[in-house]
Amino acid sequence: MIYPRLAVIGCGLIGSSTILAARAAGVVREVAVADASAEHREQIKALGYADLVTGDIAEAVAGADLVVFAVPVMAMGEAARAAAPALKPGATVTDVGSVKGAVMDALSAALPETAFLVPGHPIAGTEQSGPAAGFAELFDKRWVILTPRPCEDDAYLEAVQRLADFWSAVGANVERMDAAHHDLVLAVTSHLPHLIAYNIVGTAADLEEVTQAEVMKYSAGGFRDFTRIAASDPTMWRDIFLTNKDAVLEILGRFTEDLQALSRAIRWGEGDKLFELFTRTRAIRRGIVAAGQESAEPNFGRDRGKHP
């Protein structure tokens, strides 16, 4: 056992999966959950995820050794302020947000100095949401990035290692990274792809020459994958783009330049340039599969509905 008592604030896909994975690995004894939604709380009770289910964040974190904030990024500060008075000294506090710089600032401002803040980001998920969407295998062989603050204090370093051990125990690969670098990397690998998906699905829906019925009926594999991404939680992704706007806009600018170059190649019939790009990107795809971060199965193995 790594943490006798775990508190999860917000029990959607990641929060519920964290609980299930921790219980399956035997790394926690007791679990408390706070969720603002009465409907979610009833679902959590019915599913038997937790020993304590409440709408009161302070009640949930009281006595907890590890507190995981799994609320939307822009709600982190408010949740931390509610938790702060009840945190026991020496508790480790982390999160699962896809943005780290803004989250670190919000949590640092709200939490007492007696808590060990170690922001984190499990790079795992599906387009599903809610307490019933979670499953224990979500983090298996996926990356969890921790962005601890620079510190030489032995107690803090021990807390960071303990959290890394927790994520390793539930099957994840753990990496440590500077928060600003994390936000730039995720702008490339996650945030921009989601922005493109939302945009292209919206464009298809707005085309006057094509009805929505035709879009759904004749969707090819590429468009179907875009719609899978675009089905992700709108609140979460709104918050991500607003809190990581500098990195997203930087990468979006580079993408726009590259897209214009592709447009010119198509316009002028420059097949060699297109073939070179498509060959290079195909190699990247194969590298992702070889690294175990994707399945090579037909339909990317997503018929099971539990592949990120």
Half-sphere exposure of 220 (CA within 13 A, CB side): 1
Chain segment 91-132, per-residue pLDDT in tens:
999 999 999 999 999 999 999 999 999 999 999 877 778 899
Residue showing tokens 């706070």: 34
Which runs of E-coded beta strand occur in 139-218? Answer: 143-146, 173-176
Contact between 84 and 110 under an 8 Å Cβ cutoff? The reply is yes
Contact between 68 and 8 under an 8 Å Cβ cutoff? The reply is yes
Lowest mean pLDDT among 18-22, 91-95, 280-284, 296-300: 296-300
With pLDDT > 90 as the criterion, what percentage of the chain qualifies? 68
Residue showing tokens 């990195």: 247
Mean pLDDT of 155-161: 97
Between 242 and 227, the higher pLDDT residue: 242
Domains and CATH numbers, the chain: 3-177 (3.40.50.720), 180-268 (1.10.3660.10)
pLDDT of residue 307: 39
> Given pLDDT bands bounded at 50, 70 and 90, which one contains residue 213?
low
pTM of the full predicted structure? 0.83
Angle at 204 between CA 274 and CA 207, to 5 degrees: 115
Q: Over 113-126, what HEC string results?
A: CCCEECCEEEECCC
